[in-house]
Amino acid sequence: MSDYLIKALAYDGQVRAYAVRSTDTVAEAQRRHQSWPTASAALGRSISAGVMMGAMLKGENKITVKVEGGGPIGAILVDSNARGDVRGYVSNPQIHFDLNEHGKLDVRRAVGTTGTLTVVKDLGMREHFSGQVPIVSGELGEDFTYYFVTSEQVPSSVGVGVLVNPDNTILAAGGFILQLMPGTSDETITAIEERLNTIPPVSKMIEKGLTPEELLEEILGKENVKLLEKLPVQFTCRCSKERFANAIISLGKDEIEEMIQEDGMAETQCHFCNETYEFSKEELEELKAETQG
C-alpha cells in the first residue's frame, strides 16, 4: 500500500476528519537522516501531523511546522503543501533512549516540554499567518491538539504514531485529525470521546494493515463516515543545485572569491533531505561573474 491521506466528514457534517498512512514517507526521512528510533518517532509524528495540516490548505499554499521543546533532539522542522508533498528534519537525528514506563519510545524526553510549537502558513499573501503555543506534553499528538484548540479555536483530537524496527527502519507510521464543527451535538462529542478512549494506538492499527479509511471507520463508526477526497503522500524536497547557486550568488563576490582561494570549491547540503551539491572552482568563478554582472 502506498502512502496517502483522506479527507472526510462524519456525523452528518458535524465532524471534519483526516487520516494518513505515512509509513514510506517517514521511512524515506529516516533513511536520508539516518535517525535513531526515538528521533525517528518524533520526526515521524511531526511529518504525519504536518502533511495532514498541509492538506487543509488549497492551491499552492504551504505550511511550516517547527517544534522546539528544549529536548536533546533540538528543533524539528516540517514543510508541507496542499498536494501531499512533505519534507522534514530534526536537528539531532542520532538520539535514542530506553523505552518509557509505558514500554514505548520516549518521545517526550527527546522533544522536551519547555519550548514551543510554531505553525506558519504561506497563503500566498504578503503576510504569513503564524500561530505559536507552548509545548504541553512533548508527545506531540497532544501538542498539535492544543495548537488547534488554542491558536485556531477549533476543538480537535490529533493522534500520530510511529513504530520502528530493531534495525532502525520504519515499521508503521500514520495518524488522524478530528475537528468538531460549530454546533456539534453533545451526543456526538460523547460518542467520539468514548471511542478515542478504547481504540488501539494509531501506529498499531496501521501495523495491522488498516487503511486511512478504515482508521476513521474504527474511530468514528463506518456508518458515520463520508469520504471526500484521497491524496497521495510523499517525501518531496524542493532543493536543487540552482537554488543553492542563487544562494551563493547572494553572498557577494568577496565571499565567493574567499571560497575559491581557500578551498577551490564549495559543498552545500540541504537540511531537509541531506542531498549534497558540489560547486567546482570553475562554477564558482561563473557565479562570481554573475554577481558582477
| Residue 264: CATH number of its domain | 3.90.1280.10
pLDDT tens-digit readout, 25-69: 999 999 999 999 999 999 999 999 999 999 999 988 999 999 999
Q: How many domains does the chain have?
A: 2
Same domain, 203 and 250: no
Same domain, 107 and 125: yes
**Of 176, 210, 203, 178, the residue nearest 193 (C-alpha):** 178
Same domain, 231 and 256: no
Same domain, 276 and 217: no
- Residue 203, domain extent: 4-235
Band (pLDDT 50/70/90 cuts) for residue 292 is low
Band (pLDDT 50/70/90 cuts) for residue 229 is very high
Same domain, 8 and 66: yes
